[in-house]
Amino acid sequence: MAKQLRSVVILGGGSAGWLVAALLAAEWGARGHGTVQVTLVESPEVPTIGVGEGTWPSMRGTLHRIGLDEAALVRECDAAFKQGSCFRGWADGSAGDRYYHPFTLPVGHDEADVAGAWLQDAPGQPFADSVGMQPAVCEAGLAPKQVGTPGYGGVLNYGYHFDAVKLGLLLRRHATQVLGVRHVADTVSHVRAHDNGDIAALVTAGHGELAGELFIDCSGMASVLLGRHYGVPLRSAREVLFNDSALAVQVAHATPDAPLACATVATAHTAGWTWDIGLPARRGVGLVYSSAHTSDDEAERTLSEHLQRSAAGDMLAAPRRIRFEPGWRQTFWHRNCVAVGLAAGFIEPLEASALALVELSAAMIRDELPATRADMEIVARRFNEAFDYRWARIVDFLKLHYAVSRRDDSAYWREHRLPRTRPDSLAEWLQLWQHRAPSRNDLFRHDEVFPVASYQYVLYGMGFVPRRPRPLGGDALALARQRLQEVPRQARRLLGGLPRHRELLDHIRMHGMPNR
């Protein structure tokens, strides 16, 4: 039990596995403390799926921490800047139904109750447009930074859109060539266990046994170690969030120089929604749906109609169907095995939480890496508690998008509004939010997955209006109004000073970015 942890073995590559490997090696490998060997084994026979084409702003810090050049991400992963999500048709399905969940916080968010002032003065105006500049920047097709902004710096907050397969390849090269990760391309035939039940080694077809003290399961939905070997079951979220299928397709831009969206566009339909992500060389489009509310054939027709309406170019490949069971593992760290990414669970692509959970998981493993097997018991308990909480909050936040919708055109939307399909925590919040804005008293942890502002963006973007909001007055109201009055002036400055999104990406590919 007192043996020092010297070896970490990761099963599975892709963007999830290589992100975990890079973060651990940067901290604990030869370029860091130099005490741990990180080995990643992946089968050359299993195609890489990736876990999405969109990230949160946290990815900037993650990539910077492992020493990856942001310009290399743009050049090698067909990357673009993501400034948030644009939701169309979610509130009531009318022609003008549109709102943004931007990545930049409302003006004065940390010092003034701008949501309270907005509720009191202008609830008829779009919330995100009233409290920040980013929706206007996105609508104008502008980038979140200027030509002279250093790598990973931004005028506005941003994450990325990219080709997930290419990201995995870039991370693999960086992890192996720069950070010293050992890469084993081989098939794991079985798992050898110690007498106490810990994993002793992964047995491969061509490289023998890969022994270690900690094993990280990044094997995707197969969950080879945590799910298959240890039998840890999935905790289903199907009764809360119904989607269990997706159709994904790559399409060409209508023209090579077509304007490039800088937000994920999520468009609701009668039994789910479509995502539309713009990369410099193509678009990634997908339809997420509930198989209990529509057929596969109808889903294909819905996707085809979306592509026609959105002036997409030719399909670059046939649509790929993906099945998933919405849920997460009952425990994530069992004995000396921890699951990360799809092996730990998946809810649905809405709000792009998949890679964010990979980042959060990898960061906590890195920061709390147990020195000994005895320490691992404590770390595992803390890890499981943290991620039980995080997954539950993700379910709350995703359900909010459906629970307050006023769409009445299908059983899918009507059933999503039923009180019995809401988590208890969300039901309590919605009752309180009839009288006040979401606040830090609702989401009080310093490391909340989604900040209070995110709930405000979605709640008020969907047209949820409190019945009797608490009045704001005195100095508090004056300060909040002052901050809101700054928005139009700042928006005009940004609209006149930021480059077009595609133009900035072209410049970065040609000339790179300035150093900090």
DSSP H helical segments within 285-371, as ranges? 296-309, 353-367
Considering the domain architecture, whether residues 276 and 330 belong to the same structural domain is answered as no
Measured over the CA atoms of residue 492, residue 493, residue 494 and residue 498, the dihedral's sign is positive
Task: Please state, in angstroms and rounded to a whole number, the distance separating the CA atoms of residues 400 and 241.
Answer: 10
Q: Is position 47 within any domain?
A: yes
DSSP-assigned beta bridge partners for residue 334? 337
C-alpha closest to that of 8 among 173, 179, 170: 179
DSSP-assigned beta bridge partners for residue 84? 102
Distances (CA, A) of 468 to 425, 433, 459, 471, 476: 21, 10, 16, 9, 19
Which of the 8 DSSP states describes residue 156?
A: S
Angle value at C-alpha 449, between 418 and 36, nearest 5 degrees: 135
Considering the domain architecture, whether residues 388 and 251 belong to the same structural domain is answered as no
Angle between the 373-403 and 353-367 helix axes, to the nearest 10 degrees?
160
pLDDT at 51: 42
Considering the domain architecture, whether residues 376 and 278 belong to the same structural domain is answered as no
Considering the domain architecture, whether residues 233 and 357 belong to the same structural domain is answered as yes
Considering the domain architecture, whether residues 283 and 300 belong to the same structural domain is answered as yes
pLDDT at 22: 98
Distances (CA, A) of 101 to 371, 405, 453: 41, 15, 9
Asked whether 463 and 91 are in contact (CB, 8 A), the reply is yes
- Among 360, 377, 392, the domain boundary falls at 392
- Among 392, 425, 447, the domain boundary falls at 392
How many residues are given for the chain? 516
Considering the domain architecture, whether residues 21 and 38 belong to the same structural domain is answered as yes
3-state helix, strand, coil in the chain (%, to 5): 40, 20, 40
Q: Which domain holds residue 265?
A: 245-323
DSSP-assigned beta bridge partners for residue 100? 86
pLDDT at 3: 77
46 exposed, middle or buried (CB, 10 Å; 0-12, 13-18, 19+)?
Answer: middle
The helix (run of H) or strand (run of E) holding residue 264 is strand 264-269
Q: Is position 216 within any domain?
A: yes
Write out the two tokens for 156. 């506005």
Considering the domain architecture, whether residues 221 and 341 belong to the same structural domain is answered as yes
- The whole-model pTM stands at 0.96
CATH number of the domain at 171, please: 3.50.50.60
Q: Is position 154 within any domain?
A: no
Other beta carbons within 10 Å of 261: 22
Other beta carbons within 10 Å of 435: 11
Considering the domain architecture, whether residues 263 and 277 belong to the same structural domain is answered as yes
Distances (CA, A) of 26 to 160, 166, 176, 184, 444: 22, 21, 11, 19, 31
- Among 353, 374, 392, the domain boundary falls at 392
Considering the domain architecture, whether residues 167 and 234 belong to the same structural domain is answered as yes
Measured over the CA atoms of residue 57, residue 59, residue 63 and residue 66, the dihedral's sign is positive
Considering the domain architecture, whether residues 282 and 230 belong to the same structural domain is answered as no
Q: Beta strand pairing status for 188-193 and 199-204?
A: antiparallel
Number of domains in the chain: 2
pLDDT at 322: 94
**pLDDT of the chain, 516 residues: tens digit per residue:** 567 899 999 999 999 999 999 999 999 997 777 899 999 999 987 666 544 589 999 999 999 999 999 999 999 999 999 999 999 999 999 999 999 999 999 999 989 999 999 999 988 899 999 999 999 999 999 999 999 999 999 999 999 999 999 999 999 999 999 999 999 999 999 999 999 999 999 999 999 999 999 999 999 999 999 999 999 999 999 999 999 999 999 999 989 899 999 999 999 999 999 999 999 999 999 999 999 999 999 999 999 999 999 888 888 889 999 999 999 999 999 999 999 999 999 999 999 999 999 999 999 999 999 999 999 999 999 999 999 999 999 999 999 999 999 999 999 999 999 999 999 999 999 999 998 889 889 998 888 999 999 999 999 999 998 887 788 889 999 999 999 999 999 999 999 999 999 999 999 999 999 987
Considering the domain architecture, whether residues 308 and 330 belong to the same structural domain is answered as no
Task: Please state, in angstroms and rounded to a whole number, the distance separating the CA atoms of residues 234 and 232.
Answer: 7
pLDDT at 48: 60
Considering the domain architecture, whether residues 230 and 331 belong to the same structural domain is answered as yes
Write out the two tokens for 461. 């973007």
Q: Is position 367 within any domain?
A: yes
Task: Please state, in angstroms and rounded to a whole number, the distance separating the CA atoms of residues 100 and 457.
Answer: 7
